Amino acid sequence: MRYVVIGSSASGINGAKTLRELDKDAEIILISKDEQVYSRCILHHYISGIRDIKALNFSGEDYFEKYNIRWINGVEVIKLDDEEQIIELSNKQSIKYDKVLIASGASPFIPPIENLRKANNIIGLRNLDDAQEIKKAIDHIKNVVVLGAGLVGIDAVAGLVDYGLNITVVEMADRILAMQLDHYAASKYEKLFNEKGVNFKLGVKAEKLIIDDGNNPKELIINTGEGIPCDLIIVATGVRSNINFLKDSQVETNKFGLIFNAKGQTNVENIYGAGDVSGKNPIWPTAVKEGIIAANNMAGNELIMTDFFGSKNTMNYLGLATMSLGKVILPDETYIEEIEKDENNYKKIIHKDGKIYGAIMQGDLSYGGILTQLIRAKIDVSKVKKPIFNIDYSDFFNIKENLEYTY
Amino acid sequence: MKRIKIDRDKCIGCLTCTTACIISHGSADNRSRVVIDSYGKYAPIFCRHCEKPECVYTCMTGAMKKNQDTGIVEYDKDHCANCFMCIMACPYGVLKPDSVEHKVIMKCDMCQGTESGSPSCVKKCPMNAITLEEV
Amino acid sequence: MEVKQSTCNYCSIGCNLDFYVEDNKIRKIIPTKNHTVNKGFCCIKGLQLNRQESSRRLPLLRGEDGVMREVSWDKAFETFSSRMKEIQNKYGKESVAYLSTAQITTEELALLGFVGRTYMGINGDGNTRLCMATAAVAHNQSFGYDSPPYALKDLELSDTIIFIGANPIVTHPVLWEYAVRNKDAKIISIDPRKSETTIKSDIWIDIKPKSDIRLFYTLANVLIEKNWIDKEYIEKYSEDFQEFKEHVNKYTLDGVEEKTGISKKRVLELAEIIHKGKKVSFWWTMGVNQGYQAVRTAQSIINLAVMTGNIGREGTGANSITGQCNAMGSRLYSNTTCLYGGRNYNNLEDRKEVANILDIDESILPTKPTISYGEIIDRINSGEIKGLWVIATNPRHSSSDNMKFAKAINNLEFLVVQDLYDDTDTAQHCDLFLPSVPGTKKQGTLINTERRLSAVTPVLEREEGELSDYEIFLGIGKALGIEEPLEKWNTPRDAFELIKQFSKGMPGDITGVDYNMIVNSNGVQWPFKKGDRLIEDERRLFEDNKYYTPSGKVKFIYEDIMEIPNPITKEYPYVLNTGRTTVGQWHTQTRTSEIPIVEDASIKQAHLLINVELANQLGIKESDKIIVSAINGEKGRFIAKLSRNVKKYHLFAPIHYIETNALTPSIFDTYSKEPSYKYMPVNIKKVAK
């Protein structure tokens, strides 16, 4: 049996490892465009200089030896022949597979703003190369525009904030991290970044990039007519899944990306998918789980994804941590919003009919995981006779035979 | 592997386990805790070192790992990026950051690497409400 | 990071802790490794001492509009002095009094006794009255001095450990550790409630409430009859045994079960266990101390130890476990119930000596012990006392029959509260609030349950405007016009030197203790006379069989068993007992409610343990709201906690809630004037939904 795994990020690395755990004898090949294994979620720590490349590795240094996985790195998959079960690589190599896990991820999407696609120094922060390029540019630039104030955009800002650059964030929403935070929580970060000299242009659209003769960016014009000087633009406005190599195959995709079911199966036998390639923007743990689940099903061990709670995240910028879960803005007046705050802490819970639908914790996140589970499993908390902010596991305390907890 | 068995009915909420935990790790913080439910009954909340550890799945640096030999979910503070995703991921609300630097995850290590060698909380519990059992 | 060793100022064990300090903040606390007392362990309270912070820097004075406003320290001292003097001028010297504490240092207590008792000439009692007065009186009468004889290590050395009205697993976890380390001893617990300690004991003597004195007299009688006594010891080193023997003669095994709930057979067994034990130690605490016949009960324990020769040897003793961190300092050096050093107010030589040390006129020293805590409250209610100064205690909550104190507050013309917190149940009502600092910012000495002097080291620097209790006493003293005599009291170290001099020639002589000996060390137990060499860290008294009575012999003291002064009635058919139920909560919760770890594990409302069967009978379910009405006429709202650890007609309420002591009676021990907190007839009713 030969398993091939495409991609060396959360899904691929965990998928390949799981395959090895389930099948001691199989041949496992991992193919990646990346030359290193690294966690793309902490690239901003590389930019800021608090981590080197080695410290970005999330798999363990001896991963490939330990799990006996052949790693073909630095090459791209250019074609997948699902009939012959052959993968063609950018180095002209062809590899046969018995089963393949597509965990090829996604790439930054550069929006169709005039001149943006042809200018130099337009970087989407996704891969280590991007981070390296940004880091190299730091020495000889002054003005940076970050386009998009989602997690990737703010990560980029966090990575750059201590270099003395003139950073401007341009965002269409009226606040940063609009998917994760409400106005109050976002304003705390805006203030902290402001104090570090970061400018925010919120509720605006980028319309045109002024470039010089050498295609170097000069100024980004926004819809208010204002021009923002820029030598470098970090584009963080979304991603597109890496599915180009599937276009001549029968593997089904849609406008977002690869289609696979809760077992990781695509429409074609022996082809599985996991992670960002779905185009659903899953978060790290979802990608990990999808990788593990797909690997299980590939190895004949039936496992089904049950955790579809993906709209959750944590962030920790400038010493202020936040956890964001589910609905963070009151959907309508049938929901109830409860808020508890002091100088350093902010907590908000949105609930309805005894169930919690969303929460923000900012400041002290201690023991916040309980809320994730209550939201994910739609657990009725009306039996708990405690202030909603004090709910903990005690009222659900239940121990399994193997002494693990359960709900 | 071994897990700490919790007999809730024997727990008197004396917090000796919490005390032992803090002392064993020479720490400012506790890695386990005791809370009360809506009826005032004590519930010791201890890391279970889950078979399917959400904290491990969610860790984007590899700092949180399940040791297949011991079953212990180990945490490497030096590799941690303090993103706190594990805090969010733990379904039982076991994890928190340290209170001094707000960086390190307060994670039970079954007192591996402490002078105690095995869970100090278990050794100190005056009521035998927590015991170490093979599972 | 700097590491500073200091002594925990919660309970009487006196655990030593290493404080890791950076930028004048405590980063963490680790119990001092290899310390004789706590051996690198402690309880959650000590570990969280960093949570203790002053509530404010400046005093608060209530204006005519009733609003508290910040005032300068000078203004506060001046107001204190002028208002107190005004009241004294108008109503007489004793129209002012103070209620203090065992939660501050010995030096502070000594200075308070100097400013308050000596100079203001007023009554002033400590909250020690509420917990340890019984033991103090029992020791004084039986041993001739307030001298708990043991070293904690005796718990490790005993072959038979008997706990009486003591629940160390909850109240003194570090003391319990000593018993745990002793793997071979048989542990017996005598308690009407199936306490945590009884559960972990080999034998639980489930005695009827307040019948312990009967059990001990009966045991004494049995031991005598069986000739299971140490005749030689009795003869050589005790007095009044013959009379005692005749006294207990009437407490036979017949009838013992009816009175105590313990069968003849079990009493005999217990006698046999005591007889067979080579090293039997008896350990009592509040279950004994807080009773209407408490002193005699404590002495019935002392009598058992003496008659069986279980005293003055390792692993033995009639041992009173102290409550608060500095009850021992307060008992000897607060100048309240005795003259400094355990001296006598009537003894002319003692008076002269103390006056000489202090360089004052002997005539201004108090001539008698203070009136008791309870009496002070009574005198406020009768209108005799108009001004009250409360220091680091919370009588609105902790005094027995505490609604009496609520009434007293209204009778006062001037209430001063000096405390760390401005929001205690008492401080909320005061006219002048004097903010003090936590123990982590003080210097001084605590004396633990085994007579060990241990240093309180300022681990944090005080910030601008922050005053310790010591400095507040000095400020008040100066405002009152005490000039020259205060020069001997400039610093806590000065006070320590005075205390040493007070102790000279007394059983608790500490003239050999240099202050540096108790800093960063294991501390030093008293006695330690000038010229003594510290050879052993853990010493017990009476190894030489010499007691501190005039005859040098230990006294058998006894009396007829009293009837319960407030027996249950048809209307109030259940007995309410009170005590501590958690390690984390301390007394009235003023100090521990700011510890999140403790709060997470603490029930927020007053609650009551009720036997499951009784609850079923009364239709009460878990967490139902119930009204408890007591025979003293007070009522309280509690949450019902169903339990199998209280007997069917008994109830148990934790003391950490203000509702509890509304129900406890104004009944006191005859000799110690300690309140009877442990027996109150009550009735309960479910609150209609």
**Domain-located, residue A307:** no
- A216 & A256 share domain: no
- On average, the pLDDT of chain B sits at 97
DSSP bridge pairs for A122: A233
Q: Is C658 on the interface with B (CB under 8 A)?
A: no
Which member of B37, B54, B87 has the closest CB to residue A394? B37
* 3-state per-residue secondary structure call for C562-620: CCCCCCCCCCCCEEEEEECCCCCCCCCCCCCCCCHHHHHCCCCCCEEEEEHHHHHHHCC
User: Nearest-CA neighbor of A52 among A144, A132, A123?
Assistant: A132
In chain C, domain spans: 2-51, 60-122+326-525, 149-321, 574-686
Task: Give the model's confidence band at C273: pLDDT under 50 very low, under 70 low, under 90 confident, else very high.
Answer: very high
- A71 & A16 share domain: yes
A195 by Cβ neighbours in 10 Å (0-12 / 13-18 / 19+) ranks as exposed
Task: Give the model's confidence band at C55: pLDDT under 50 very low, under 70 low, under 90 confident, else very high.
Answer: confident
The answer to whether the CB of B131 falls within 8 A of the CB of B122 is yes
Task: Give the model's confidence band at A308: pLDDT under 50 very low, under 70 low, under 90 confident, else very high.
Answer: confident
- A322 & A281 share domain: no
**Domain-located, residue A115:** no
- On average, the pLDDT of chain A sits at 96
- A283 & A329 share domain: no
Question: A188, A213, A235: which is the final residue of a domain?
Answer: A235
Which chains are within 8 Å of A by 3+ CB pairs?
A: B
User: Do the Cβ atoms of B19 and C29 come within 8 Å?
Assistant: no
* Contact residues on chain B for A14, CB-CB shorter than 8 A: 57
Domains of chain B, with CATH numbers?
Answer: 1-46+108-130 (3.30.70.20), 50-94 (3.30.70.20)
Peptide bond into C507 cis (omega under 30): no
Q: Is C624 on the interface with B (CB under 8 A)?
A: no
B16 φ, ψ (degrees, to nearest 5): -65, -35
User: Nearest-CA neighbor of A108 among A131, A90, A137?
Assistant: A131
- Name the architecture of domain C574-686: Beta Barrel (2.40)
The answer to whether the CB of A120 falls within 8 A of the CB of A214 is yes
* Contact residues on chain C for B36, CB-CB shorter than 8 A: 600-603
Task: Give the model's confidence band at C555: pLDDT under 50 very low, under 70 low, under 90 confident, else very high.
Answer: very high
Q: What ipTM does the predicted assembly reach?
A: 0.97
User: Do the Cβ atoms of C600 and B33 come within 8 Å?
Assistant: yes
For residue range C379-410, list pLDDT tens digits in order. 999 999 999 999 999 999 999 999 999 999 99
Chain A interface test: which of B60, B76, B99, B104 (most A C-beta within 10 Å): B60
For residue range C82-106, list pLDDT tens digits in order. 999 999 999 999 999 999 999 999 9
What is the rounded CA–CA span in Å between residue C667 and residue C676? 6
Reply yes or no on whether the pLDDT at A296 is more than 80.
yes
Residue C490 DSSP one-character state = S
The answer to whether the CB of A331 falls within 8 A of the CB of A364 is no
User: Nearest-CA neighbor of C130 among C319, C331, C283, C403?
Assistant: C331
User: Do the Cβ atoms of B28 and C27 come within 8 Å?
Assistant: yes
DSSP bridge pairs for A325: A312, A359
- On average, the pLDDT of chain C sits at 97
For residue range B42-91, list pLDDT tens digits in order. 999 999 999 999 999 999 999 999 999 999 999 999 999 999 999 999 99
The CATH number of residue A366's host domain is: 3.30.390.30
Task: Give the model's confidence band at A282: pLDDT under 50 very low, under 70 low, under 90 confident, else very high.
Answer: confident
User: Do the Cβ atoms of C42 and B126 come within 8 Å?
Assistant: no
CA of B61 to nearest chain A CA: how many angstroms apart?
4
User: Nearest-CA neighbor of A204 among A181, A179, A228, A183?
Assistant: A228
Joined together, the tokens standing for residue B111 give 């007192």
Per CATH, which fold does C149-321 belong to?
Dimethylsulfoxide Reductase; domain 2 (3.40.228)
How confident is the model at residue A219, as a pLDDT?
Answer: 96
In chain B, which residue's Cα lies nearest the Cα of A386?
B38
Measuring CA to CA, how many Å separate A276 from each of A16, A260, A282, A307, C365? 16, 12, 6, 16, 85
Reply yes or no on whether the pLDDT at C689 is more than 80.
no
Cα dihedral value B12, B16, B18, B23, nearest 10: 180
SS3 C22: strand
C584 φ, ψ (degrees, to nearest 5): -75, -35
Average pLDDT over residues C35-51: 97
Question: A214, A235, A256: which is the final residue of a domain?
Answer: A235
Task: Give the model's confidence band at C189: pLDDT under 50 very low, under 70 low, under 90 confident, else very high.
Answer: very high
The CATH number of residue A247's host domain is: 3.50.50.60
Average pLDDT over residues C353-366: 97
User: Which position has the higher pLDDT, C134 or B116?
Assistant: C134
**Domain-located, residue A402:** no
In chain A the first and final C-alpha atoms are separated, in Å, by: 39
Task: Give the model's confidence band at C311: pLDDT under 50 very low, under 70 low, under 90 confident, else very high.
Answer: very high
For residue range C622-677, list pLDDT tens digits in order. 999 999 999 999 999 999 999 999 999 999 999 999 999 999 999 999 999 999 99
Quick one: how far is CA B112 from the chain centroid?
A: 12
What is the rounded CA–CA span in Å between residue C77 and residue C84? 11
**Type and span of the H or E element at A192:** helix A183-195
- A39 & A62 share domain: yes
* Contact residues on chain A for B81, CB-CB shorter than 8 A: 39, 42, 45, 51
pTM, to two decimals: 0.95
Question: A220, A235, A250: which is the final residue of a domain?
Answer: A235
Q: Is B81 on the interface with A (CB under 8 A)?
A: yes
Q: What is the Cα gyration radius of chain A?
A: 23
- Name the architecture of domain C2-51: 2-Layer Sandwich (3.30)
**Domain-located, residue A231:** yes
**Domain-located, residue A113:** no
The string of DSSP codes covering A211-276 is E-TTS-EEEEEETTS-EEE-SEEEE-S-EEE--GGGTTSS--B-SSSB---TTSB-SSTTEEE-GG
User: Do the Cβ atoms of A315 and B61 come within 8 Å?
Assistant: no
User: Domain C60-122+326-525 has what CATH class?
Assistant: alpha beta
How confident is the model at residue A307, as a pLDDT?
Answer: 86
User: Do the Cβ atoms of C607 and B124 come within 8 Å?
Assistant: no
- A204 & A262 share domain: no
- A220 & A248 share domain: no
User: Do the Cβ atoms of A41 and B36 come within 8 Å?
Assistant: no
Chain B interface test: which of C600, C609, C638 (most B C-beta within 10 Å): C600
Name the amino acid, one letter, at A18: T
Residue C93 DSSP one-character state = G
Quick one: how far is CA C42 from the chain centroid?
A: 19
* Contact residues on chain B for C3, CB-CB shorter than 8 A: none
- A204 & A280 share domain: no
**C149-321 and C574-686 share one CATH topology?**
no
Joined together, the tokens standing for residue A132 give 């390296």
**Domain-located, residue A406:** no
Q: For residue A77, what are the domain limits?
A: 2-107+239-298
* Contact residues on chain B for A325, CB-CB shorter than 8 A: 88
Q: Is C601 on the interface with B (CB under 8 A)?
A: yes
- A222 & A245 share domain: no
- A272 & A363 share domain: no
* Contact residues on chain B for A285, CB-CB shorter than 8 A: 54, 57-58, 85, 89
Number of domains, chain A: 3
How confident is the model at residue C54, as a pLDDT?
Answer: 85
Task: Give the model's confidence band at C250: pLDDT under 50 very low, under 70 low, under 90 confident, else very high.
Answer: very high
Percent of all residues in chain B with a pLDDT value above 90, rounded to a whole number: 99
What is the rounded CA–CA span in Å between residue A20 and residue C368? 86
Average pLDDT over residues C500-516: 98
